[in-house]
Amino acid sequence: MRSQSQRPSQPHAAPRRSAAAGLVQKPDRHLLLALFLITLVTPVSVTMAGLRLTPARVLLLLSVVPVTFALLSGKRGKVIASDILMGLFAFWVIVSLTITMGLSVLEFAGITGLEIWGSYVLGRYLIHNRAAFLVLTRFLVFVLIFVFIEALAQSVFRFSLYDPVFSKFGQVFGWTRETRLGFVRASSTFEHPILYGVFCASTFSLLVYAPRKNKPGIKSWRIAALPGAATFFALSVGAWLPLFLQIGLMGWDYVFRKFAKRWVVLISLFVGSFVLIDLASTRTPFEVFISYFTLDSGTAYWRVLIFQYAIDDVWQNPVFGIGLNDWSRPDWMYSSSVDNLWLLTAMRYGIPGFLFLTTAYFLAMFRCVKVKSQDYQRQKQQTSLVFALVAVGIAVATVHLWGATFLYFCFLIGASNAFSEPDAPVTDSEEAGADPAPAPSPYTRAPLRPGQRAW
């Protein structure tokens, strides 16, 4: 008679898991990434219990808790400074809005803070190695095609292709039909043309530096036509600026690729130009910058006035800001719009909120620059993320981000920490499968080219 110890072992029953928790398991990470990008460009919202809910906001509310626990459990390494700073920023948004506006905005403040943290932690958790980054770039191509089709219909043919469909499910964003350069400014599936343009432009370097299948190097520049053409129909220098900046940075990187100190030289030139303008010009460097990066000189002057008056509110309310209250300005300044993300952050949430966000932003880029890799493909991914963040960071000094585009910006900050550890291995089989290469791979451990660095 067979003893108890000799009986064949029975397979253990698979543990049950909730739908939300299941999204952070290995087989479902790509699904969660795809859902996040799809919901960002879904142009519909509904109002429930006084809160405006978009598909992206609903997804973040469902995923923020399991993804946060997964991150804190150490599955993506130790908690880093950017994690703490972005968590503090989200928390400070809730605290400052509640103090300045009262408990009546607590629900709005809470959901705003949660979606800031939720979009950051998604990028931090999902984009954790070069294979996951490659999946992101492939999804972005399909997303760009989707939004470009609508932009083309709005700008050239002057009708909306998607609004009649999505209006059956809730409120659509609509578009202004403002004309520039003979075209209608397209907002596509976003709430404003600038939001659409900045989103498309920010994908430029990510796609150009994505590797060709089974080959080292980067994709053909033909892929750059997609974000380039999509960005054009925003018809705004504020949207074009990050695109031009990325092209300039890529050109500098290529021309001086054999010069190891090329970025030190570029930063020195930028700082020197700033000091020279400040000493030699009757205008501030900010005023000079604004005047050359707008299509309309009147718009440039208006943004200078916004900065001059809005900064006073920052100094008068340095800790908690003014919240959602109107900012101080002369009566003849009829618009309450503040076209500067950094300024508006300081004005709404105080200097602490501004410092939390900007420090996390700069640390994210610093980590990409600091970590060196022998993997040529990974070098280019690090470089592309830094280019995208630098370009958007400069552009938002002239425009404000909100809605889906701001969530994507927070997502990019989180994704930039994917390369926080040297040469992180690809461990998930489904992610490794997204980056097929014959053995030996021509790029998984390729040595650095002469004069090449990760940054």
Q: What is the pLDDT of residues 402-444, one digit of tens each?
A: 999 999 999 999 998 877 666 555 554 444 444 443 333 333 3
pTM equals: 0.85
| Mean pLDDT confidence for 23-38 | 79
Cβ atoms < 10 Å from Cβ of 335: 9
The secondary structure of 48-115 as a DSSP string is ETTEEE-HHHHHHHHHHHHHHHHHHTTBTBS--HHHHHHHHHHHHHHHHHHHHH-GGGHHHHHHHHHH
Kindly indicate the confidence band of residue 198, based on its pLDDT and cuts at 50, 70 and 90: very high
Instruction: Sketch the domain layout of the chain as residue ranges.
Output: 29-422
Q: What is the pLDDT of residues 295-336, one digit of tens each?
A: 566 677 788 889 889 999 999 999 999 999 999 999 889 888
Q: What is the pLDDT of residues 104-142, one digit of tens each?
A: 999 999 999 999 999 999 999 999 888 888 899 999 999
CA–CA dist 444, 216 (Å, integer): 9
Q: What is the pLDDT of residues 247-258, one digit of tens each?
A: 999 999 989 988
SS3 180: strand
Closest C-alpha among 301, 269, 306, 298 to residue 288: 301
- Residue 230 CA to its chain's centroid (Å): 17
Peptide bond into 440 cis (omega under 30): yes
According to the model, what pLDDT value does residue 315 have?
Answer: 96
Kindly indicate the confidence band of residue 217, based on its pLDDT and cuts at 50, 70 and 90: very low
SS3 213: coil
Q: Torsions phi, psi of 327, nearest 5?
A: -90, 160
